[in-house]
Structure 1
């Protein structure tokens, strides 16, 4: 649910490039935490001895590359997911705006939830591929690469396997949106001032808190979803899943009966630990890329700071600034007497 503030001084391609680079970089850095989290959700043997020992077991059995399994497909999924999410969100928000262009906070969050479901539907097969690549062992792999995994799942299990557990994405969107709403309606009381006066640091903290609360509420649905994505009788140890089930409700029942209800939150520690560095890296990388773009467009004097270029109207769009620069370059000044 990480978001970055739009800047009208960036072109659409520059904004998309900044968001893309920031997303890929932050996902790559947090990949070890994502691997440990998904292994804990699936229930592989790596997670049986606690959070810290999971890292040691992954390193012992698969080496350093085991911490970046599935990272490529995770990064590839980022671009279509972001494009579909943004397009759908804008359309839904436009439908719910009043005559003055205002939309309530609850409706905006609800629109974000619907946009997230639409984006997940478009990219869900890649999420299944990511889960399979992470659940398997690097040293004895069943799947090799993104395309090979997609083809094998389709050929051996059919198209439905690529969308196994998608209904849990829909169900998990409701507690996720409720968690976001519960946090944002109380931000005024948390900081003692209206939201339009929040500093960038306060907005960053708000995002982390909202992500933590929302993901904790929807986490059981994601845990069962990962188990459904990973389970396959043709894989070693049935995909590494710690319970064997026949469907969504049976998976919930088996987990609660055999391992206790808290098992539905397996891997939550790794998930919570990754929130702050992920958001921090996302916003930091985005701001760095934005500075470079603003410097190249002529809005600021250096990519190392936000010092505004003298004489440049910051309200002008990129095309207008470029036109002014072109005019000044081509203008012939009269020679001084």
Structure 2
């Protein structure tokens, strides 16, 4: 699950703070449109910044997930292993899709929240863990349509070697120059079904992850508001970090299986269904290996959220908007 802008749900339910310098009123349709545009721009920029900061650790995490159980390779060895190449490999696809992804998250979560609020007569801003969970689940499932091809290409770039000698089973032997080359090759060999390889696993990860994320984040923010009425940036960062870590803890094994499915050779005749790959992996490595690389993911959550929030607020201020996180 890529990092998102956790303040979007509350903005989607119109929890907005008007910039004192503007003469527009909160009820004006034009100000809502202006805020929406500013939020999408800020979300795209902040999301890209978060991906840039967290990508090296994400690359190391994915490479650790590909290692066999007998491997004693350390994180530092993976970082400096010249056969893998730079830890920045695969950066471009998620950065290019950051704007689209955040726009989808904003629109889907906002609209679904408004629909539930209207149907069940829930006031805007009123706490509802069930609503947050349901809307987060739906948002995550929809995001899988964007995430699957993006992460498929990213994973292949992150795990390919400079030589044709693979260090572990399942790594691609094709040397891709960049994301466009990888996308073209995958589509040419397997068509659109190949581009969307790992969709079921991605959806199974994204749905529960967003449900846990939004529920946890909003609950923590609601609790923290009793002690931090100004909703400071550090509170948002901590809430986002905890929510992100918890959502990864719940769905991390699915992420590992998804990455192994997407890293398999395109012409492999091996059954690459989730059930088959999961059984094989647990049989060969044990269930504890399903959390290989999880520590890197938890460590990554806090600096990424810190960069996202800082960039998000700075961008909104530069655009002439101000929101409470």
TM normalised by structure 2 equals: 0.76
Q: For residue 137 of structure 1, what is the aligned residue in structure 2?
A: 161
Residue 257 of structure 1 deviates from its aligned partner by: 0.8
Conservation of the 8 A alpha-carbon contact between 1:164 and 1:229? yes
Unpaired segments ≥5 residues, structure 1: 239-243, 300-305, 307-337
Structure 1 residues 90 and 12, CA gap change in structure 2 (3 angstroms): closer
Q: For residue 252 of structure 2, what is the aligned residue in structure 1?
A: 219
Q: Does 1:95 align with 2:119?
A: no
Conservation of the 8 A alpha-carbon contact between 1:51 and 1:270? no
Q: For residue 304 of structure 2, what is the aligned residue in structure 1?
A: 278
Q: Which runs of 4+ in 1 moved over 6 A?
A: 194-197
SS of equivalent to 2:59 = helix
Residue 191 of structure 1 deviates from its aligned partner by: 5.6
Residue number among 173, 180, 204 corresponding to 1:171 in the alignment: 204
Q: For residue 4 of structure 2, what is the aligned residue in structure 1?
A: 2
Distance 2:40 2:178 in 1: 26
SS of equivalent to 1:68 = coil
Distance 1:185 1:87 in 2: 18
Matches within 5 A, 1:67-216: 67-97=87-117, 98-99=120-121, 101-102=123-124, 104-138=128-162, 142-173=175-206, 175-177=208-210, 179-180=212-213, 183=216, 187=220, 193=226, 198-216=231-249
Give the number of aligned pairs: 284
SS of equivalent to 2:177 = coil
Residue number among 12, 16, 24 corresponding to 2:40 in the alignment: 16
State the structure with more CA Rg: 1
Q: Does 1:51 align with 2:75?
A: yes
Unpaired segments ≥5 residues, structure 2: 20-33, 165-173
Conservation of the 8 A alpha-carbon contact between 2:140 and 2:211? no
Deviates more, 1:6-15 or 1:24-33: 6-15
Residue 52 of structure 1 deviates from its aligned partner by: 3.1
Residue 119 of structure 1 deviates from its aligned partner by: 2.0
Structure 1 residues 90 and 224, CA gap change in structure 2 (3 angstroms): same
Residue 3 of structure 1 deviates from its aligned partner by: 2.0
TM normalised by structure 1 equals: 0.73
Residue 138 of structure 1 deviates from its aligned partner by: 4.9
Structure possessing the higher relative contact order (Cα contacts under 8 Å, 6 or more residues apart): 2
Residue 226 of structure 1 deviates from its aligned partner by: 0.6
Q: For residue 257 of structure 1, what is the aligned residue in structure 2?
A: 283
